[in-house]
Amino acid sequence: MTKKVLITGVAGGIGLETAKLFHAKGWEVIGTDIKEMEDTLPINFIQGDISDKANNKIIFNSINGKLDALVNNAAIQLFKSLQELSIEDWDHVFRSNLYPAFFIARQAANILKKDKSAIVNVCSIHALATSMNMSSYAASKGALLALTRSLSIDLAPIGIRVNAVLPGAIDTPMLRQSIRRFCNSSKEEHQMLENYKSRTPLKRIGLPEEVAKSIYFLSDHDQSSFITGSSLVVDGGAYSHLSTE
């Protein structure tokens, strides 16, 4: 039987490349995003806000009671200092990055195939080490990483594996957006990208499809059947390198 995966944040970047990979592997893909999907990938796409309960009901009605993997990928970033960050900002980031992952995982646990299914939470290297003005994003991803470990224990008795992928600097629209807040020209943007590369042991920026392969590995029972509660860092070695050197 054809395997089925639900991927959130599927309209671009890591989510889109993950959907492409699952589709290429013969999986049925159900994808959701708050943005329109411009790519013509033949998947079951549902546009809407995953923090909205009514939209989640539509998503799960389309699944028809069978699911082999869930990929919680949807997220937003907010760049504000502690003084600038409002309670509303903080709540918005958590309602986008953390709460839906919990609510969707809770619903999915009832229909995921027992003993051979998986949940993969796309966290971030910011869950382990972060930078200035990223407190809400880093905190939400750190909480998602803790949730991953907790769910791996809670769902182990019914054979559902739960793992996390922690991307570093990956060439996605989110990374480009974060870079542009410091740049006034395409030349400055290029220079900042080169700086990222020089500070990464592998001397390059990661690609969304490389993260997608890690997500697929942790989702596919045949490849990772004895892995749960783990965190796979995909950052070209940046987290291992002392910033003082």
Per the DSSP assignment, residues forming a β-bridge with 28 are 4
Q: Is residue 147 part of a domain?
A: yes
* pLDDT given at position 145: 98
The CATH number linked to 97 is 3.40.50.720
Q: Does some domain include residue 227?
A: yes
Note the pTM of the prediction, 2 decimals. Answer: 0.94
Low-confidence ranges of the chain (pLDDT < 50): none
Q: Which residue(s) pair with 31 in the sheet?
A: 7, 45
Place of tokens 């990938």: 41
Whole-angstrom Cα distance, residue 138 to residue 238? 16
| Structural domain contains residue 176 | no
Q: For 101-152, how does the pLDDT look when each residue is reduced to its tens digit (9 = 90+)?
A: 999 999 999 999 998 999 999 999 999 999 899 999 999 999 999 999 999 9
Give pLDDT, residue 165.
Answer: 98
Give the N- to C-terminal CA distance of the chain in Å, as an integer: 52
Cα 135–Cα 230–Cα 119 angle in degrees, nearest 5: 85
- Which residues are catalytically annotated? 137
Residue 119 near residue 70 (C-beta atoms within 8 A): yes
Question: What is the predicted pLDDT for the residue at 194?
Answer: 85
Give me the number of domains the chain comprises: 1
Residue for token pair 């594996």:
161
In a domain, residue 94? The reply is yes
C-alpha gyration radius of the chain: 18
Query: What residues have CB less than 8 Å from 22, skipping those under 6 apart?
Result: 5, 7, 29, 216, 219
pLDDT of residue 243: 77
Three-state DSSP class for 225?
coil
Q: Is residue 235 part of a domain?
A: yes
Of 76, 73, 119, nearest to 95 (Cα)? 76
> For residue 191, is it within any domain?
no
Q: What domain range includes position 223?
A: 4-168+207-240
- Please check whether residue 106 lies inside any domain of the structure: yes
Output the CA torsion sign for 241, 140, 109, 70: negative
d(CA 191, CA 187) in angstroms, rounded, equals 6
Classify residue 200: in a domain, yes or no: no
